[in-house]
Amino acid sequence: MYFKTKRKYYLEQKLESHYELLNEWEIKRDLSENPTETAKCNLEIEKFNNQIKRYEFELEEVFHYITENENILEKKHYGFEKRKNNNKLKLVIFSGTGVSALSGVGVNALKNWKGYDINELASIKAWHLYPQVILEYYNERRKKAYSAEPNEIHHILSSLQTDFDLSIITPVVDNLHERAGINKVVHLHGEIFKSRSTLDANLKYDIEGYKLDIGDKCKKGSQLRPDIVWFGENLPMFDTGLNIARNADLFIAVGNSFIVYPASNIIDAIPEFVPKYIINNRLPSVKLVKKYKKEKMYKNFFIDETPLIEGLKDIIKTIV
């Protein structure tokens, strides 16, 4: 349904622009006293008329599809009604760095650490070149996260476990969701309070405190590194996140900018008929979000551009 609605919007925009261009050529033709120029105008007018007819025909088909399926979707999901077996609805939260930022942590908290480009530090290449620097950087981030506390959003999300089968999918690496009492959290980019072996990625350890140093080794004798997914590495938990997303009954993205890929592709796995809410008052000017913002008429896609806490509370009022 989403893609049909997106196509509907595209066709409406194309028709509007084509009507304007057609009008311009007609005016130009009417004012022309040159037979050659008049003939050229007639060719352009014919071209736009033909294109308009094609767009109008397709738009009618798309509109018919949307109207035909609207009642089915509304009956199936839009009311957020509990299933007949009384199981809790599966609520999937896509929680971004904007949530962690309210607790004073996240990538931007150490944006200009010792003059380094943080994107450079978050790469497997940097680890091979200067592991000591990388460990120091993540020790600083870990220290900041260690002293941080879950904020109001973390606690609001945790409270939703009473009414929903709640799963958090997140690119953030801190443990504030867990510390707020949330049971199901999938970290797409790893966990900063864990280390893993450089020899065997399956060997992982909890980090006590905030320090991880050169010489800290796994049981096989290799150096430990932060359990973080760096640029140049695959996302081992991505498929897990996709499977959770595919089974969602309700989807909320909070504090996520949708500019980090492939993590942001999680939303594409949400079934078309599932209500989707995006809460972010600082949406970036990226192609995906621009299109979503223009499609507010799509009944299963909603964007709330109020501050995160206020927006989340408003949505909760409609679903609980």
Work out the average pLDDT over 238-255.
Answer: 93
CA dihedral 77, 243, 224, 213 (to 10 degrees): -10
Work out the average pLDDT over 209-235.
Answer: 94
More confident residue, 183 or 53: 183
Residue 167: name the closest of 184, 180, 181, 187 by CA. Answer: 184
pLDDT at 120: 83
Q: What is the DSSP letter of 43?
A: H
pLDDT at 283: 56
Q: Please check whether residue 257 is in contact with residue 282, taking contact to mean a CB–CB distance below 8 angstroms.
A: yes
More confident residue, 250 or 257: 250
Q: Please check whether residue 242 is in contact with residue 83, taking contact to mean a CB–CB distance below 8 angstroms.
A: no
Question: Which residue is catalytic, options 154, 177, 187, 189?
Answer: 189
> Is-catalytic flag, 189?
yes
Distance from C-alpha of 42 to C-alpha of 264, rounded to nearest angstrom: 47
DSSP-derived 3-state class of residue 79: coil
273 — pLDDT class (breaks 50, 70, 90): confident
Lowest mean per-residue pLDDT among 182-186, 202-206, 255-259: 255-259
CA 156, chain centre distance (Å): 20
% pLDDT > 90, the chain = 41
Q: Rg for the chain (alpha carbons), in Å?
A: 26
Work out the average pLDDT over 310-314.
Answer: 85
Going through the chain in order, the beta strands assigned E by DSSP cover: 90-95, 165-170, 185-187, 190-197, 204-206, 224-228, 250-254, 276-279, 301-304
Q: Is the pLDDT of residue 293 over 60?
A: no
Q: Is the pLDDT of residue 225 over 90?
A: yes
Domain 90-319 of CATH type 3.40.1280.10: no
pLDDT at 27: 86
24 — pLDDT class (breaks 50, 70, 90): confident
DSSP-derived 3-state class of residue 302: strand
Lowest mean per-residue pLDDT among 60-74, 154-168, 248-262, 264-278: 60-74
More confident residue, 94 or 15: 94
The pair phi, psi for residue 141, each rounded to 5°, is -65, -40
Distance from C-alpha of 6 to C-alpha of 275, rounded to nearest angstrom: 15
Q: Is the pLDDT of residue 292 over 60?
A: no
Between helix 287-294 and helix 2-31 the angle, nearest 10°, is 80
> Residue 109: how many CB atoms within 10 A of its CB?
18
pLDDT at 285: 38
Q: Is the pLDDT of residue 142 over 90?
A: yes
Determine whether 114 is exposed, middle or buried from the number of CB atoms within 10 Å of its CB (0-12, 13-18, 19+).
exposed
pLDDT at 118: 81
Q: Looking at 74-151, list the stretches that DSSP marks H as alpha helix, in order from N- to C-terminal side.
A: 97-101, 118-121, 124-129, 131-147
Distance from C-alpha of 181 to C-alpha of 158, rounded to nearest angstrom: 6
64-123 confidence digits (pLDDT tens): 666 655 554 444 444 455 444 457 889 999 999 889 999 988 766 667 788 888 888 888
Residue 222: name the closest of 208, 245, 242, 201 by CA. Answer: 201
Lowest mean per-residue pLDDT among 152-156, 179-183, 274-278: 274-278
Determine whether 239 is exposed, middle or buried from the number of CB atoms within 10 Å of its CB (0-12, 13-18, 19+).
exposed
Q: Is the pLDDT of residue 228 over 70?
A: yes
Distance from C-alpha of 156 to C-alpha of 309, rounded to nearest angstrom: 9
31-56 confidence digits (pLDDT tens): 888 888 889 989 988 888 888 887 77
